[in-house]
Amino acid sequence: MPISEAEPLLLVAGLTAGYGKLRVLHGVDMTVGRGELVAILGPNGAGKSTLLCTIAGLLPKQAGRVVFDGRDLAGLGAKDTVRLGIGHVIQDHRIFTHLSVQDNLLLAGYDLPRAAHLARIEEVYALFPEIAAKRNQFGAALSGGQQQMLAVAQGVVRRPRLLMLDEPSAGLSPVLVDRVLAVAAALRADGASVLLVEQAVQKSLTFADRVYAMAGGRIVLEAAAAEPDLPQRLKQAYFGQAAA
């Protein structure tokens, strides 16, 4: 996938956002191509989660543009972006613990045709057999890692055109991290685009096509994930020794 693309699925230009008077994002520019897996890396507090929340419509932008498949998302909320085909798996196990695994997945696609929805749930169970075995148990009965897999499954079951994953590896064993990232890669192979926020740098580079590094609410590096010197460049970028 080339560094730039004429008609990206997602275009973010000059994006500024924050919480009240606290500005977190400072003129972020980035793209995600069609069928591309893009990783956003950076230290805690870099603005990665804020970026995803703003794209998803959970947080209003203060300036700039977010364009999805040629449509400006100005004025649209989270419900609107979901209907357009943007899936957002929020960090920290945002599942309904008082509902069963099956009901969590049913609720995630409440507006889908029932037959297609049930078929997709079975596909998700095939990807995550640990939660398939507990489909009738309450979310509260799951381990932290199983809750994280269920959160990812909630995003996958809708088959979004763009799936945004915010640190999906949190709380997972190395084997399960590989599985979640393999699922993301499979979605890409099936034509979807994936925007992945991660702390697991080496694993992200294995699966991603391109990488953005963030620090201080700004993009400080963009590169192809296969570049051999990228880990060292990332370290330099985090410490302010490289600029976008």
- Phi and psi dihedrals of 95, rounded to 5? -115, 170
Q: Which residues make Cβ contacts (< 8 Å) with residue 190, sequence separation at least 6?
A: none
The pLDDT assigned to 172 comes to 80
CB 22 within 8 A of CB 7: no
Query: What is the pTM (predicted TM-score) of this model?
Result: 0.90
The Cα–Cα gap between 187 and 181 comes to: 10
CB 54 within 8 A of CB 32: no
Nearest to 104 by CA among 136, 130, 58, 56: 136
Looking at the chain, the whole-number percentage of residues with pLDDT higher than 90 is 65
Q: With cut-offs at 50, 70 and 90, classify the pLDDT of residue 136.
A: very high
Sequence ranges of the domains in the chain: 35-50+77-238
> What average pLDDT does range 86-93 have in this prediction?
86
Q: Which two tokens stand for residue 26?
A: 């400072």
Amino acid at 62: Q
Looking at the chain, the whole-number percentage of residues with pLDDT higher than 70 is 95
The Cα–Cα gap between 15 and 115 comes to: 39
Q: With cut-offs at 50, 70 and 90, classify the pLDDT of residue 39.
A: very high
CB 219 within 8 A of CB 244: yes
The pLDDT assigned to 6 comes to 67
Amino acid at 22: L
Q: Which CATH number fits domain 35-50+77-238: 3.40.50.2000, 1.10.10.10, 3.40.1440.60, 3.40.50.300?
A: 3.40.50.300
Nearest to 136 by CA among 89, 99, 170, 173: 99
* Mean pLDDT across the chain: 90
* CA 129 centroid distance within chain: 22
| Residue 243 clears pLDDT 60, i.e. is over it | no
Q: With cut-offs at 50, 70 and 90, classify the pLDDT of residue 102.
A: very high
Other beta carbons within 10 Å of 129: 11
pLDDT in tens, 211-242: 999 999 999 999 999 998 898 888 888 766 44
CB 193 within 8 A of CB 19: no
pLDDT in tens, 162-193: 999 998 887 788 888 888 888 899 899 999 99
| Residue 110 clears pLDDT 90, i.e. is over it | no
Cα atoms in the 13 Å half-sphere on the side-chain side of 26? 12
Q: Alpha helix (H) ranges present in 190-224?
A: 201-207
